[in-house]
Structure 1
Amino acid sequence: MQGDEAGIFAREAPYLDRHVQVGVAQGRVISVSFPRTPDGEARSDHELLDRIESYLDGVEESFDDVLVALTVPTDQRSVLEVLREIPYGENASVGQLARLTAGLDDDNDDDLRTVREALAENPAPLLIPDHRVRDGPGATPPDIVDKLRSIEKL
């Protein structure tokens, strides 16, 4: 990413029929959202938005080198870190995420709830690809999930 540049950056994404908006602080992404109208202070010139635009055009992109600031409880952070490892074009279930996350058990209702809460509170959808979880909630709006899955042929 562009050094330590901080701010809100947004760009129209015609395929999504929305904007993609990214919040950056200290060289880390702190938020990703899909507003119909971007923040009035948002700028459109950011390398990450270029990459997201390419992804939306069908270029395979992992975003695994993008630093994301996760200000969520430790157990949720662990789930989101595992989720980032699910490759482009592949998906997982809530149970699989629980099995893959150290200290969680897919037979434990509390652990499955932890996975679902992590997905729902994901601060950076797309970069942390909750659209790749086929049976869980996510922070990505449902109509956007469908389009992201279509891009990745999920």
Structure 2
Amino acid sequence: MSTEADAGIYARESEYLDRYVQVGYASGRVLSVSFPEIPDEGAEEGLELLDRIQAYLEGSEDDFNDIEVALTMATDQREVLEAVRGIPHGSQVGVEKLARLAPNLDPEEPADLQLVRTALSENPAPLLIPDHRVRDGPSAAPPEVEQRLRSLEGL
């Protein structure tokens, strides 16, 4: 992704999601992805990433792994979200499997499973960090968006 975009809020309407995709962007990194019905006032459309997201929502496969996402959270939660980025397009895992994929977590430990669920629910960039691919975990995207993303990937 081009790092020439200015810091700011960018949004584009998605017919598929029946709402906007909004991206917070600064210093060459995505700070947030959200799905408002109405974008923030002053949001602009001119972010290359929005073109890629639109193509993805129209059926093009994209893992977005080259997009840098600012993950400003505890290390163990960040490691969970980094493991989520490794789930391939069209695949899904459960919370227990995700706990196995994240370093230093024990899928037999209830506190570790709760940590995985917390990381998923606090995901700052759903879609780029595809929490919709975790079948029995929460998504940071609204339920109707999560369902459409799952449908898009045949999940």
The TM-score normalised by the length of structure 2 is 0.98
Once the two structures are superposed, the pairs formed by residues 31-50 of structure 1 within 5 Å of their partners are 31-50=32-51
Q: Which residue of 2 aligns with 1:3?
A: 3
Gaps of 5+ in 2: none
Does residue 68 of structure 2 align to residue 67 of structure 1?
Answer: yes
Instruction: Provide the residue aligned with 2:146 in structure 1.
Output: 145
Q: Output the amino acid matched with 2:69.
A: V
- What residue number does 1:12 align with? 13
Partners of 1:82 and 1:29 in 2: how far apart? 18
**Pairing of 1:103-114 with structure 2 (within 5 A):** 103-114=104-115
Partner residue in 2 for 1:51 = 52
- SS across alignment from 1:30: strand
Q: TM-score normalized by structure 1? A: 0.98
> Could you tell me how far 1:3 is from its partner in structure 2?
1.4
Distance 1:138 1:17 in 2: 18
What number of residue pairs does the alignment pair up? 154
Unaligned runs of 5+ in 1: none
User: How big is the shift at 1:2?
Assistant: 2.6
Secondary structure of the structure 2 residue equivalent to 1:48: helix
Give distance in 2, aligned partners of 1:32 and 1:3. Answer: 17
Aligned mates of 1:148, 1:138 — CA distance in 2 = 11
